[in-house]
């Protein structure tokens, strides 16, 4: 990725709703150039979507856990498909070190979280390997969100 693309992405990571004219002013470029740059980054898939972040507790979701799972070889793909489509899975990662998935799970309360984990064990004959309950979110989605430190990443 080019330096100019990193700078634009950093501004968008900081505020995804910033206008093209404001971005152009910050980057010292014409609006048309920034518009074309954005279009190119979207077409290449570098920018896949714009979204909002909010505290899940605002809407009554008070239980969150990072869960490490190991699937049986014969149902790994089915489990991955199920997890990827499940509404309580906020993020899903394929991992290594004798495990298969890292899931960021969000539910209304601990009872619902435990019921979901038990349903996975029944449905896929798997055992939840490790559960880490999130007590407090201290930092999120901040990588590449400060344009002033982009130069540190080029080492």
Per cent of the chain over pLDDT 90 is 73
Return the closest-CA partner of residue 135 out of 88, 69, 65, 56. Answer: 65
Which residue intervals of the chain bear CATH 1.10.10.10? 3-51
Residue 110 has pLDDT above 80, yes or no: yes
pLDDT at residue number 53: 85
* Adjacent-strand bridge partners of 132: 66
Q: How confident is the model over 65-95, as pLDDT tens digits?
A: 999 999 999 999 999 999 999 999 999 999 9
Q: Does domain 56-133 have CATH number 3.30.70.920?
A: yes
Q: What is the mean pLDDT of residues 102-122?
A: 96
Ramachandran assignment for 14, one of left (phi > 0), alpha (psi -120 to 50 degrees), beta (any other): alpha
pLDDT at residue number 142: 87
pLDDT at residue number 34: 96
Across 14-150, the runs of DSSP E, i.e. the strands, are 63-69, 89-94, 101-107, 128-133
Q: What integer best gives the mean pLDDT of the chain?
A: 92
pLDDT at residue number 141: 87
Q: Does domain 3-51 have CATH number 3.40.50.720?
A: no
Which residue intervals of the chain bear CATH 3.30.70.920? 56-133
Q: What is the mean pLDDT of residues 49-64?
A: 92
Residue 155 has pLDDT above 60, yes or no: no
Residue 154 has pLDDT above 70, yes or no: no
Residue 128 has pLDDT above 80, yes or no: no
């Amino acid at each position: 990725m080019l330096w100019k693309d990193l700078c634009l992405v950093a501004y968008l990571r900081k505020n995804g709703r910033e206008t093209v004219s404001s971005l152009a002013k910050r980057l010292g470029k014409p609006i048309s150039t920034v518009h074309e740059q954005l279009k190119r980054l979207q077409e290449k898939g570098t920018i896949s979507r714009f979204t909002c972040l909010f505290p899940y507790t605002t809407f009554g979701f008070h239980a969150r856990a990072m869960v490490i799972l190991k699937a049986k070889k014969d149902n790994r793909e089915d489990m991955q498909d199920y997890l990827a489509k499940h509404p309580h899975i906020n993020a899903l990662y394929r991992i290594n070190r004798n495990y298969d998935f890292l899931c960021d799970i969000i539910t209304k309360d601990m009872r619902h979280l435990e019921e979901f984990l038990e349903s996975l064990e029944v449905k896929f004959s798997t055992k939840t390997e490790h559960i880490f309950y999130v007590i407090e979110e201290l930092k999120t989605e901040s990588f590449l969100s400060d344009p002033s430190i982009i130069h540190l990443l080029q080492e």
